[in-house]
Amino acid sequence: MVVKALMVMGVIFALYAVFIAQVKPYWSISHHKEQQDNQIKAEKYLYDYRQEHGVVVGSSLSSHLGNLPGIYNLALDGLSSLDGLAIVMKQKSPPRTVLIEINFIDREENTSFTGLVNNPVLKPAKRLFMSMRADKQPLSVVVEQLQMTLDRLRAPFIIPDPAVPGSATSAQQASRYTELLTKQLERYAQAPAPGVFEQQLGKLRQAVSLLEQQGARVVFFEMPVDCRLDDSPRAKAVRVAFRQYFPQATYSYVPRPACAAYQTADGIHLDAQSVTKYSYFLQEQLAKHKR
Amino acid sequence: MLFNSFAFLGLCLITLFLYYLPLFSRAQVKLLIIASMLFYAYDQPALVVLLLLSAGINTGVSYWVLFGNATSKKALATLGVGLNLAILAFFKYSPLFARTFLPSGNDIGRFLLTIPLPIGISFFTFEGISLTIDLYKNKAFSQREGEGLTFTKHAERTLFFISFFPHLVAGPILKAHDFLPQISRKYFRNIEWEAAFKCLVVGYFLKMVVADNLKDFTLLLDFPYHQYYSSLTLLTMLFGYSIQIFADFAGYSAIALGLGKLFGYTLQENFNFPYISTSFKEFWKRWHISLSTFLLEYLYIPLGGNRKGRARTYLHLILTMFLGGLWHGAAWSYAIWGLCHGLALALEKLAGYDRPSQSTAIQLVRGLLVFIFVTLAWLLFKLPNFADVISFVRSVAKNSGALSTTRINSSILVYSLPVVIYHLYYVVRPRAAWRPVVRLEYIGYGLLLFLILVNSGNPGSFIYFQF
């Protein structure tokens, strides 16, 4: 029985691996599953992307940045730049440019995530078998199909809600925004705990110096947030600490644009329009840095 | 160390290899003790001392209970139980005591709040209690076995009983009278490969594919996230959590059973398809069996069980479940959870619904009601803070969720389906019409293995580790 079951598993796996390798299906799975999104992002970077180009590392604040030619967005939801760097640093060839988001550097590295991505057994297996990667999970495809069916069934019953100014929806959205912003104001009212923060900055300094030794160009940037948070004790403390550990005379920084020019969805995450706007701004600044 | 980690796989393979080598045939127990210590020390090395202390106390007390003066046996057994409970109370319930009874800012309170919770303490202290009581009642082994027992041998057996790594951190809770008689030399040729394989495959599938995938959606039950979802999505998430907690714990228990079999030991079944139960009494005969039988043998029956009249029976049931709830965690929500189950058991007994009905329709309705009650009660597990429970109930009542959630609902349904099929298969399996399917079970196990390989979620720790 044991041998038969193992043989069945071998056959199914082989068939699935051949299917994935030959058909190379694009399954836009995940969303609402932070860890899986992060894993897919990391795996695409490790196995599909030419790593000698540039890379952005950061938190969910920069995870939706796009339109950066030759730069892979490895910013991870719920994590920090250090998690992205833990993946980048394990590569044989370092990227030419590394963009490091500074906003949430005080978050400790999620070693269970980086350990999984850098696992010495799984990493070569996933490189070899595309079918073992997170974006090729067969049950996720079933979920995708079920979701589309449910959405189709639901569609006739959904009443479009334009959220025009002055409408009930608009008022609801404004009240939710205030609620979310209040939570962020509480969070930003205090500077990061000194012990952990300094430890994280120390780790970052080590990683940056190693990258520079390998010829990488490191550029720091700060994602814009709501203006009421931009001037908060937390944001100020992060800036001061960065200037101490990475003096502006020695390290490259993307200049901080006026926060009023950007809109956020919850105080800290830019809305879709502003994310595009900031991506273009970042692109321009990188071009200047190159010159 | 997690069962689903590569470090564990390495430890397990090396131990298994050495265990059956003729060179180590006389040191099999010692080898398993060393492996168990490495397993426990992997995450919390300092707390190995506590494990050894607990084993030491239980060795001493139980040895005196066995060979000491006949007149002092009862007092010694009581002391043994008391010491185990004191260890559990100090390490597990001190923070709860401080939060409930001491003013904030109090020095003693601050100290009590810093006491770390050693992983698996609820399990190994209960096993210590079982050892003391079973030896006191002469249940753990025969007179002949007891006669040749030296203190060193007894210490080795006790340490092995308490620390054997498959059950060490999350059960099943072993009873001395089940486990101690099994300690003997084991042979490779006697391994029950098929049974071990089935347990391991089902266990890893439930944990890695079902529970680890569901956890990423059910985390949205936490405050403040639940405020942003519709009633339907919140109830779907709660259903998902009910499936997740089963898959997580039953998965862990199945892995423990499979590992035990690889080393020649049979651990007690901990789950027997609990979600097909049609009464609360049946549910507790199928869910966390090692705990419910422990509570039955060492608490409910000694309290008087059902031998002291109807009113006392209900009281015993409620009290046993209340304490059983509190055993799970140092928060009043767990006690309330236990109390709810105790009340349900008592009311069910009072109404005479604890016996199966002849009508299939009635059985189905009862099964559904039991499942709904059990699922709603899990909310107290997921949200140990009462304020969060109230906020969740308010969110369900308000139905003001604005986020699009077909993705969440679809995912929960898809990842819950294997558990539903697992239970249904158990119901139809004995029927003659299903015999051809049963003969092809190996295809199912092959499929489960394939899904473990390609569809596992991000590994999370086992829910019951916190208890």
Give B158-172 pLDDT, tens digit per residue: 999 999 999 988 879
Q: Give tens-digit pLDDT for B256-299.
A: 999 999 999 999 999 999 999 999 999 999 999 999 999 999 89
B328 is catalytic: yes
Rounded to whole angstroms, how far apart are CA atoms A223 and A246?
17
pLDDT of residue B140 exceeding 80, the answer is no
Domain housing A107: 30-141+176-290
8 Å CB contact between B108 and B68:
no
- Cβ B407–A32 below 8 Å, yes or no? yes
Query: Which residue of A lies nearest to B445 if distances are taken between CA atoms?
Result: A5
Q: How far is A284 from chain B (nearest CA, A)?
A: 34
Q: What is the pLDDT of residue B144?
A: 58
Q: What is the pLDDT of residue B29?
A: 95
Q: What is the pLDDT of residue B43?
A: 80
Q: What is the pLDDT of residue B264?
A: 95
- In terms of domains, do B66 and B128 share one? yes
Say if B237 is an interface residue toward chain A (CB within 8 Å). Answer: no
- In terms of domains, do B107 and B24 share one? yes
Q: What is the pLDDT of residue B141?
A: 65
Chain A residue set in contact with B, beta carbons under 8 Å:
1-2, 4-9, 11-13, 16, 31-36, 39, 112-113, 116, 119, 121, 131-132, 136-140, 142-144, 146-147, 150-151, 154, 172, 176, 183
Residues in A closer than 8 angstroms to B455, CB to CB, are 137-140
- Cβ A132–B216 below 8 Å, yes or no? no
Say if B439 is an interface residue toward chain A (CB within 8 Å). Answer: no
A87 Cβ contact partners less than 8 Å away, ≥ 6 residues apart: A42, A45, A46, A74, A114, A117, A118
For residue A112, give the nearest of B201, B415, B459 by CB distance: B459
Rounded to whole angstroms, how far apart are CA atoms B444 and B455?
15
Nearest to B125 by CA among B302, B352, B298: B298
Nearest to B158 by CA among B57, B247, B242: B57
Q: What is the pLDDT of residue B235?
A: 94
- Cβ A143–B409 below 8 Å, yes or no? no
- Cβ A5–B449 below 8 Å, yes or no? yes
Under the banding of pLDDT at 50, 70 and 90, the label for residue B404 is low
Under the banding of pLDDT at 50, 70 and 90, the label for residue B1 is confident
Query: Which is the catalytic residue, given B167, B226, B316, B328?
Result: B328
Low-confidence stretches of chain A (pLDDT beneath 70): 27-33, 51-52, 158-170, 172, 289-291
Backbone region of residue B105 per phi and psi (left: phi > 0; alpha: psi in -120 to 50; beta: other values):
left
Q: Give tens-digit pLDDT for B4-23.
A: 888 899 999 999 999 999 99
In a domain, A20, yes or no: no
Query: Which residue of B lies nearest to A30 if distances are taken between CA atoms?
Result: B407
Say if B398 is an interface residue toward chain A (CB within 8 Å). Answer: no
Q: Give tens-digit pLDDT for B110-122.
A: 888 888 888 889 8
Q: What is the pLDDT of residue B405?
A: 80
- Is the previous residue joined to B459 through a cis bond, with omega within 30 degrees of 0? no
Task: Write down which residue in B142, B171, B190 finishes a domain.
Answer: B190
- In terms of domains, do B25 and B74 share one? yes
pLDDT of residue B384 exceeding 90, the answer is no
Q: What is the pLDDT of residue B270?
A: 94
In a domain, B373, yes or no: no
Q: Using H for helix, E for strand and C for coil, what is the string for B250-314? A: HHHHHHHHHHHHHCCCCCCCCCCCHHHCCCHHHHHHHCCHHHHHHHHHHHHHHHCCCCCCHHHHH
8 Å CB contact between B409 and B236:
yes
In a domain, B379, yes or no: no
Domain housing B82: 6-190
Domain count within chain B: 2
For chains A and B, CB pairs below 8 A equal 102
Q: What is the mean pLDDT of chain B?
A: 90
Residues in B closer than 8 angstroms to A131, CB to CB, are 454
Query: Which residue of A lies nearest to B9 if distances are taken between CA atoms?
Result: A121
- List all residues of chain B from 96 to 135 with a beta carbon under 8 Å from chain A: none
Angle, CA B84 vertex, CA B83 and CA B86 arms, to 5°: 60
Rounded to whole angstroms, how far apart are CA atoms B125 and B148?
26
Residues in A closer than 8 angstroms to B445, CB to CB, are 1, 5, 8-9
Say if B151 is an interface residue toward chain A (CB within 8 Å). Answer: no
- In terms of domains, do B30 and B157 share one? yes
Q: How far is A257 from chain B (nearest CA, A)?
A: 31
Under the banding of pLDDT at 50, 70 and 90, the label for residue B53 is very high
- In terms of domains, do B202 and B92 share one? no
Rounded to whole angstroms, how far apart are CA atoms A262 and B324?
54
Q: How far is A53 from chain B (nearest CA, A)?
A: 28
- Cβ B446–A9 below 8 Å, yes or no? yes
> Considering only A126-130, B391-395, B402-406, which range has the smallest mean pLDDT?
B402-406
- In terms of domains, do B12 and B120 share one? yes
User: Which residue matches tokens 């109807």?
Assistant: B310
* H/E run at residue A220: strand A217-221
DSSP assignment of A51-108: TTSEEEE--TTTTT----TTEEE---TTS-HHHHHHHHTTSSSPPSEEEEE-TTTTSP
Strands A97-101 and A252-253: unpaired
Residues in B closer than 8 angstroms to A142, CB to CB, are 414
Q: What is the pLDDT of residue A29?
A: 57
In a domain, B385, yes or no: no
Task: Write down which residue in B132, B165, B190 finishes a domain.
Answer: B190
Contacts of B364-372 with C-beta under 8 Å, sequence gap 24+, read B366/B278, B366/B279, B367/B276, B367/B277, B367/B278, B370/B277, B370/B278, B370/B279, B370/B280, B370/B282, B370/B283, B371/B242, B371/B275, B371/B277
In a domain, A99, yes or no: yes
- In terms of domains, do B64 and B110 share one? yes
Tokens of B295: 């509570």
In a domain, B423, yes or no: yes
Q: What is the pLDDT of residue B185?
A: 93
In a domain, A59, yes or no: yes
Q: What is the pLDDT of residue A180?
A: 82
Rounded to whole angstroms, how far apart are CA atoms A74 and A44?
9
Look up the CATH number of the domain holding residue A204. 3.40.50.1110
In a domain, B403, yes or no: yes
- In terms of domains, do B22 and B117 share one? yes
- CA distances (Å), origin B108, targets A95, B113, B172: 54, 9, 35
In a domain, B377, yes or no: no
Q: How far is A260 from chain B (nearest CA, A)?
A: 27
Rounded to whole angstroms, how far apart are CA atoms B221 and B223?
7
Say if B440 is an interface residue toward chain A (CB within 8 Å). Answer: no
- In terms of domains, do B153 and B200 share one? no
User: Which residue matches tokens 């709810």?
Assistant: B340
Query: Which residue of A lies nearest to B227 if distances are taken between CA atoms?
Result: A176
Nearest to A98 by CA among A19, A210, A261: A210
- In terms of domains, do B64 and B22 share one? yes
Cα–chain-centroid distance for residue A286? 19
Average pLDDT on B343-362 reads 88
Q: What is the pLDDT of residue B169?
A: 85
Q: What is the pLDDT of residue A162?
A: 54
Exposed, middle or buried: residue B312 (CB in 10 Å: 0-12, 13-18, 19+)? middle
Rounded to whole angstroms, how far apart are CA atoms B384 and B376?
13
- In terms of domains, do B213 and B82 share one? no
Q: What is the pLDDT of residue B220?
A: 87
Backbone region of residue B307 per phi and psi (left: phi > 0; alpha: psi in -120 to 50; beta: other values):
alpha
- Cβ A140–B415 below 8 Å, yes or no? no
Under the banding of pLDDT at 50, 70 and 90, the label for residue B103 is confident
Domain count within chain A: 1
Residues in B closer than 8 angstroms to A143, CB to CB, are 407, 410-411, 414
8 Å CB contact between B103 and B341:
no
Helices (H), B207-262: 212-218, 231-262
pLDDT of residue B304 exceeding 60, the answer is yes
> Considering only B227-236, B312-321, B396-405, which range has the smallest mean pLDDT?
B396-405
Interface test with A, best of B230, B439, B454, B465 (most A CBs within 10 A): B454
In a domain, A109, yes or no: yes
- In terms of domains, do B120 and B183 share one? yes
In a domain, B327, yes or no: no
Q: How many CB atoms lie within 10 A of CB B419?
A: 21
Task: Write down which residue in B144, B174, B190 finishes a domain.
Answer: B190
Nearest to B464 by CA among B205, B172, B222, B240: B172
Q: What percent of chain B has pLDDT over 90?
A: 58
